[in-house]
Amino acid sequence: MRPSTGRHRRTRNLSVAAAVAVSAGACGVYLGLSNDGAQAATTVTVSSAAQLESAVANASAGTTIQVRGGTYYPTATLKSTANGTSSARITLKAYGSEKVKIDGSKLPDGSWLAGIYGDYWTVQSITWQNSPAQGFVATSSTGGIFKNLVTANNGDSGFTLRGDGTTDNLVQDLDSYGNYDAANHGQNADGIAVKFGSGTGNKITGARLYNNADDGLDLWQFSSPVTIEHSWAFGNGENRWNDAGFEGNGNGFKLGGGGVSVAHSVNNNAAWDNTLHGFTENSNTGAILLNRNTAYANIETGFYFATGKARLARNLAVSNAKGTAKLGSATVSAANNWDSGVTTPSFRSTDATTAYGARGSDGSLPETTFLTTGSTAIGSTMD
């Protein structure tokens, strides 16, 4: 963690004739003023946990918080109720290409590492790890952009969207792994959870959700459609913590539960080596759309949609221990590899090593031939 190289300076009697820049070293502030004197933007660069806590708590529309490289140990949940706007977002991000880890190991038991209760936040290029409870939680967020994040080894779900009014959020290129809730014997810790709420326009893309105690992705009691695409869920539900009372589930993509009936959209994803199903409605009776997904080597079925009105097309299921798909009478199934007359293409590789590799410089999933077939008609393209 870098020490501060300067003192915070207060500004008085600033001219309103032009924008004013105030420099204060590593914890400096850029304060932009419009010609009528209204504050336009503030950039705060932080290099200590105390500065980080203060910057998040005091953010307002137009604030950018840049975090210098290092590992930070806050002593309280990083929390804000501030709203940005579509034209003046609140941004929390790593400084340049520096590597930032925010570590919750000094938080009180039961604390979240971060709790955002505002709209139009951008949170980018930060690792959130070792929280006693949830890693990163956004509640009733509108217009959030959560990009190139890691949520790892937290005491409950790694990344969570929750609450009514959860609208038009983008979760892009998230890695979420190793999350485990010891108090509940692994029953609740998902890679990503979109739970207990509603709101349209939410999208998850480019996620890797793996080795979590419970599910890779969980949409429990979220009553509005969510789009999930180009994401991978694998190795979830295995008892890696030697918990004698372990209760983790281990679905790759759990697409409902808690009495909801909602048509989520699930396109071009892959689920493998999970301890339950690759993809499951979890009693969601809505017309879930699943197109060009791959389920491989899951312990239960590849696709479990036994009670709802799901629509499945051009999906691929191979080597799942309890069968390719279990579908109910109201499910529509067409052009999947378990349907009559559809050929199952061969995988180029079943070695998952490259799927664990480094992401691209833009945060994109690593290039891999794992579970690819070359088919333009069926199964995930794994990108």
CA 339 to chain centroid:
33
| Cα distance between residue 182 and residue 373, in whole Å | 39
Q: Encoding tokens for residue 150? A: 């890691």
Inter-CA distances, 73 with 56, 101, 240, 348, Å:
14, 9, 26, 44
String of DSSP letters for 166-208: -BS-EEES-EEE----GGGTTSS--SEEEEEEE-S-EEEES-E
Q: Encoding tokens for residue 7? A: 């003192």
Q: Which residues are catalytic?
A: 254
Please, which residues bridge with residue 31 across strands?
42
Residue 332 · residue 310 · CB < 8 Å: yes
Inter-CA distances, 74 with 108, 134, 321, Å:
10, 14, 44
